[in-house]
Amino acid sequence: MSEGSAQSVREAVARGIRRRYRNEWVFRTLGLTALMIGLGFLAFFFYTLIGNGYTAILQTRVLLEVELDSAVIDPDGQRDPAAIAGADYQRLVRDSLQAAFPEVTSRGDLRDLFGLVSPGAGIEIQALVADDPSVIGTTRAMWLLADDDVDVLIKGHSPRDAPESDRRLDDRQLGWLTALEQQGRVERQFNRYFFLNGDSRDPELAGIWGATVGSFFMLLVTLALSFPLGVATAIYLEEFAPRNRWTDLVEVNINNLAAVPSIVFGLLGLALFINAFGLPRSAPLVGGLVLSLMTLPVIIIASRAALTAVPPSIREAALGLGASKMQMVLHHVLPLAMPGMLTGTIIGMARALGESAPLLMIGMVAFIVDIPDSPVAPATALPVQVYLWADSPERAFVERTSAAIVVLLLFLLVMNAAAILLRKRFERRY
Amino acid sequence: MDSTTLLIAVVGLALFAYYFGRQRAVVAAIAAGPRGFHSLPGYHGGYVALWCALPAIALLVLWQVFEPVWLRSAVIDSLPEATRTLPEAELGLIYNDIRNVVEGNIPSTDPEIGAAAERYSSLRDSSRRIASGAVIVLGLVTLIWAYRRVRPDFRARNRVERMIEYLLVAGSSVAILTTIGIFLSVFFEALLFFQQVSPFEFLFGLSWSPQTAIRADQVGSSGAFGAVPLFAGTLLISGLAMLVAVPVGLMSAIYLSEYASRRFRSYAKPLLEILAGIPTVVYGYFAALTVAPLLRGLGESIGLDVASESALATGLVMGIMIIPFVSSLSDDVITAVPHALRDGSYALGATRSETIRLVVFPAALPGIVGAVLLAVSRAIGETMIVVMAAGLAANLTANPLEAVTTVTVQIVMLLTGDQEFDSAKTLAAFALGLVLFLVTLTLNIVALRVVRRYREQYE
């Protein structure tokens, strides 16, 4: 081989290496970019959620002098609780607004003026009077709940300088509101209704407590059914079942069930539990039944993994000391596998908490104001509440939807953190 | 007594039974001496308790199942001849009215229904009395029978263990029953649908407008049940989702398993998996309120007309949801490729990326295909994102900027809200559900088989 050709080969190889190293760099950067796209979306996601949702913690209130007129609340003077409860408290709110703006007289203007304060303000006065009837006849300065349109404006979600036709509040309402603000009568205070109320058509009164209680009942039913059934199935398949076609079928079946779309479980719930068994619609009981069928495969798979992780030496030692097979399983293997099973169960429960598609099928999308008091009372669930609010046109529901999502994610975070802690605390290496 | 109280009573009875059985065994054991007793006293107690509770609970369940059927036929038999011979659907409505009157949901207006309601509630009361009595008596009888069997030589432990084993078998059959239940419930409703609409029209028809006539002369009341636009819409959205999820998920998995340092991986991997834990309704909200307006604005600025419920926005967000699914499955698959293959490639002078592209990836391909198939089945069955962000009207198009609807959206639309249960509109949802179930089932079985065969290859 001549000197020149060796030179050219070396050059060709060097060129090739440069190209190959460049490709290497490109490939590696592509991988990192892909990962960053995923993580970047996650960041964007939390940024918008929290950015949209944090304002829901506060709520606008208006300070008004309310005369608790005994002629309105208790015209008979009997202090009869039923009569007091039935009085027209919203009228007191209207009177106090009128007193604050005596120049407003025409009927239409008055209606606009009264629109500044929420219909929930009357309920607040009613609660005050019911607590302590001695306040009747006095005049008090009260922070009354503002209407959601006022709230949106004060929080700056709807710009004040927009043309009147683009605003929910017209120029006069804005004028009154500005007058109130200049007197220091408008303030943002803690939004307790968001945490204590059920759903409502008025965004300022809508809360997530009803949905939270509904979700709680549902998870209770799910846990009570899917944990024992899941553990029983796992124990049977792992410790007792003979290896034959039947158990193979059960295994394939469980893996498939884990991947069946959740809406199909909803169809099962509708056809079986509601139409065939006649269970009530919208009830957490039915939701829990459907969700437990969905959670079952998750718990079974986790529990089987926990059982296989228990070393055979434990089993052999128990059998060697004269325990029966059932005693070996129940007294020795099961307690050792329990942390793993519980971890799987919590993760399954977290998934059940976030699930909403099957609940739409069984009527849990109803508009329900009352806080459910039992698993058969009509209820909705947290994710379904998010779905319902996301569909609502009012601007004030946007922040509430985001806030409800943040609460839902917090619950999920706590559950997953509990699962991780449980695993760390009780995990054993043999 | 209602069934909950009755159940509590039975459980209480079983606790007593355990106590008595155990007590009798202890007394007998003291008399028999330390070696003369086969089982521990607890097993005798358990034997008595199980015998007391299980038959009683079985009876309770049977009663729960058959009481409504029996009540219905008894109440309907008592109705006047003219009402009784009404068609089944109207009879069902009347029966519902009767039950609502009994529950106090609606006031009774019609004297006939009022009388029937009274009969219903008196029948129900006596049925409950009889059932409570029967359940308690059965529990007591079996308790006494089992109690009398407590003897020193009685093999209580073996019996109890056998019973527990049967309970375990019964528990594990629930998973099978669920699958059968899904299939049968969806299948029979779909069958009713196919009596009204031919399967051929359903599977190959090009127009979908599930309106059924309320009045005969209504406009557009014909109702068309050709599901092709739905299948096409589902495929379009899932396809877009896969276009996002497969490259991003796969490349993330490759980076995490081949390039990333241990420390980076220990942070990045759980973070990426948070995406999998976010409820789908949250993605739906995000797609509808953030991504869709964003895309629309973007489209406007470059002169494109993007629908506000475009398939693109939905597919994009769904793809992001599926990223962790693809990445964690392919991560498993890639790490399962034996190290000898990599070492061989490095020894021949290949760079890392060449090794991955030319050696690891082909070796892992079957597993990755399985993962992608599972992801497709996820995308097809995904509901909340499309319900919130995709269109409602059937639209046969391949343009991702237009609004399309999917199978799952239509199922939700057809089944939420009030309509009679046996109209073609409602039943169509079950036919769609059947198609969805069968398609995802096939995908899952194929994918699981592919993954399993791949795993065996390297073990």
| Average confidence (pLDDT) over A297-324 | 93
Residue in chain B closest to A264 (alpha carbons) equals B433
Which chain A positions have a beta carbon within 8 Å of B186's beta carbon? 264, 267-268, 271
Chain position carrying tokens 């099957």: A358
For B172, the closest of A34, A236, A355 (CB atoms) is A236
Distances in whole angstroms, Cα of residue A354 to Cα of each of A136, A215, A324, B119, B281:
47, 9, 42, 44, 8
Residues 170-189 in A contacting B (C-alpha not used; CB under 8 Å): none
Domain boundary among B133, B154, B175: B154
Q: Which long-range contacts (CB under 8 A, 24 or more apart) does A325-331 make?
A: A325/A239, A325/A240, A325/B161, A326/B161, A326/B164, A326/B165, A329/A235, A329/A239, A329/A240
In this structure, is residue B94 part of a structural domain?
A: yes
In this structure, is residue B82 part of a structural domain?
A: yes
Q: Give the burial string for B37-47 (b: 16+ CB within 10 Å, else e).
A: bbbbbbbbbbb
In this structure, is residue B297 part of a structural domain?
A: yes
Asked whether the beta carbons of A373 and A379 are under 8 A apart, the reply is: no
Which chain B positions have a beta carbon within 8 Å of A324's beta carbon? 157-158, 161
Q: With a cut of 90, say whether residue A209 has pLDDT above it.
A: yes
User: What pLDDT shows up at residue A381?
Assistant: 92
Q: A–B: how many Cβ contacts below 8 A?
A: 246
Q: Within this chain, do residues B129 and B235 fall inside the same structural domain, yes or no?
A: no
The dihedral built from the CA positions of residue A81, A83, A86 and A91, taken in this order, carries a sign that is: negative
Say yes or no: A392 contacts chain B, CB-CB below 8 A: no
Contact yes or no for B278 and A45 at CB 8 A: yes
Nearest residue to B99 via CA among B66, B131, B64, B123 = B123
Kindly list the domain boundaries of chain A, sorted by start residue.
Answer: 3-54, 57-195, 209-426
In this structure, is residue B181 part of a structural domain?
A: no
Say yes or no: A218 contacts chain B, CB-CB below 8 A: no
Q: Tell me if residue A68 falls in helix, strand or coil.
A: coil
Residue in chain A closest to B162 (alpha carbons) equals A326
Contact yes or no for B179 and A297 at CB 8 A: no
Contact yes or no for B252 and A35 at CB 8 A: yes
For A361, the closest of B377, B388, B415 (CB atoms) is B415
C-alpha distance from B217 to closest chain A C-alpha (Å): 31
Nearest residue to B253 via CA among B333, B315, B359, B319 = B333
Which chain A positions have a beta carbon within 8 Å of B285's beta carbon? 386-387, 390, 401, 405
Say yes or no: A46 contacts chain B, CB-CB below 8 A: no
Q: Tell me if residue B359 falls in helix, strand or coil.
A: helix
**More confident: B280 or A394:** B280
For B430, the closest of A35, A267, A325 (CB atoms) is A267
- Mean pLDDT by runs of 10 across the 459 residues of chain B is 83 91 86 77 89 90 83 80 73 77 72 79 86 90 88 86 91 87 89 87 83 54 78 94 95 92 90 90 91 89 84 92 92 88 93 92 89 92 91 81 89 76 79 93 88 72
pTM of the model: 0.87
Which chain B positions have a beta carbon within 8 Å of A264's beta carbon? 182, 186, 381, 433, 436-437, 440
- pLDDT-derived band at A131 (thresholds 50, 70, 90) equals confident
In this structure, is residue B167 part of a structural domain?
A: no
Q: With a cut of 90, say whether residue A217 has pLDDT above it.
A: yes
- Name the CATH superfamily for A209-426: MetI-like (1.10.3720.10)
Residue in chain B closest to A323 (alpha carbons) equals B157
C-alpha distance from B383 to closest chain A C-alpha (Å): 6
The C-alpha atoms of residue A29 and residue A31 are separated, in whole angstroms, by: 5
Say yes or no: A30 contacts chain B, CB-CB below 8 A: yes
C-alpha distance from B425 to closest chain A C-alpha (Å): 14
User: What pLDDT shows up at residue A384?
Assistant: 93
Say yes or no: A235 contacts chain B, CB-CB below 8 A: yes
Per the structure, the complete domain to which residue B102 belongs is given by: 3-154
- Indicate which of A24, A37, A41 best probes the interface with B, i.e. most B CBs within 10 Å of its own CB: A41
In this structure, is residue B161 part of a structural domain?
A: no
Over residues A177-186, the pLDDT tens digits come to 888 888 888 8
In this structure, is residue B191 part of a structural domain?
A: no
Amino acid (one-letter) located at A294? M
In this structure, is residue B434 part of a structural domain?
A: yes
Domain count of chain B?
2
Which chain A positions have a beta carbon within 8 Å of B275's beta carbon? 38, 41-42
Q: Within this chain, do residues B448 and B326 fall inside the same structural domain, yes or no?
A: yes
The C-alpha atoms of residue B127 and residue A41 are separated, in whole angstroms, by: 60
Residue A341 CA, distance from chain mean position: 25
Say yes or no: A41 contacts chain B, CB-CB below 8 A: yes
Q: Within this chain, do residues B246 and B128 fall inside the same structural domain, yes or no?
A: no
Contact yes or no for B430 and A232 at CB 8 A: no
**Beta partners for residue A140, in sequence order:** A66
Residue in chain B closest to A254 (alpha carbons) equals B175
**Phi, psi angles (nearest 5°) of residue B213:** -70, 135
Q: Within this chain, do residues B105 and B228 fall inside the same structural domain, yes or no?
A: no
Lowest mean pLDDT among A191-195, A366-370, B230-234: A366-370
For A260, the closest of B176, B254, B437 (CB atoms) is B437
Say yes or no: A252 contacts chain B, CB-CB below 8 A: yes
- pLDDT-derived band at A7 (thresholds 50, 70, 90) equals confident
Say yes or no: A215 contacts chain B, CB-CB below 8 A: no
Which chain B positions have a beta carbon within 8 Å of A253's beta carbon? 175-176, 179
Domain boundary among B154, B186, B212: B154
Q: With a cut of 90, say whether residue A94 has pLDDT above it.
A: no
User: What pLDDT shows up at residue B85?
Assistant: 73
Q: Within this chain, do residues B292 and B400 fall inside the same structural domain, yes or no?
A: yes
- Indicate which of B244, B285, B345, B432 best probes the interface with A, i.e. most A CBs within 10 Å of its own CB: B285
For A27, the closest of B179, B353, B445 (CB atoms) is B353
Q: With a cut of 90, say whether residue A13 has pLDDT above it.
A: no
Domain boundary among B111, B131, B154: B154
User: What pLDDT shows up at residue B436?
Assistant: 94
Residue in chain A closest to B64 (alpha carbons) equals A277
Contact yes or no for B251 and A416 at CB 8 A: no
Q: Which long-range contacts (CB under 8 A, 24 or more apart) does B335-344 make?
A: B335/B257, B336/B364, B336/B367, B336/B455, B336/B458, B337/B363, B337/B364, B337/B458, B338/B458
